[in-house]
Amino acid sequence: MITKEDALTQLNHQLDQVDGLRSTSPCSFEFNMWYEETEHLIELIFGEDVGYVEDFRAIYFTPLFLSCRTNDTTFTEAFQGGLDEACSLLRFMVAELE
């Protein structure tokens, strides 16, 4: 079992890493490692019954729809929006634990 203090420390650590991920992509090794670690951490802290794992998994880091007009900007905006949404969710979890 993880202590409340450890949970807060680790969630804040995941939050602190987001700015460094902004220059990567959803296909990067760094992002994929962060995503897997964050998902595992949420499950470890809250379990699957609370629903936070599903909330995290539901975040889109790529465009929801693709068309012939989809360009790199669309992918960048979707990735940045996904990171923003992930930060909001993680901040909510931190606030809940405090």
Q: What pTM was estimated for this model as a whole? A: 0.89
Q: What is the band of 9 on the pLDDT scale with cuts at 50, 70, 90?
A: very high
Residue 67 has pLDDT above 90, yes or no: no
Integer CA distances (angstroms), 57 to 7, 40, 72, in order: 19, 11, 23
- Stretch among 20-29, 62-71, 88-97 having the lowest mean pLDDT: 62-71
Sorted by sequence, the CB contacts under 8 Å of residue 64 that are 6+ apart come out as 78
Residue 14 has pLDDT above 80, yes or no: yes
The token pair at 96 is 């809940």
The domain locations on the chain are 4-97
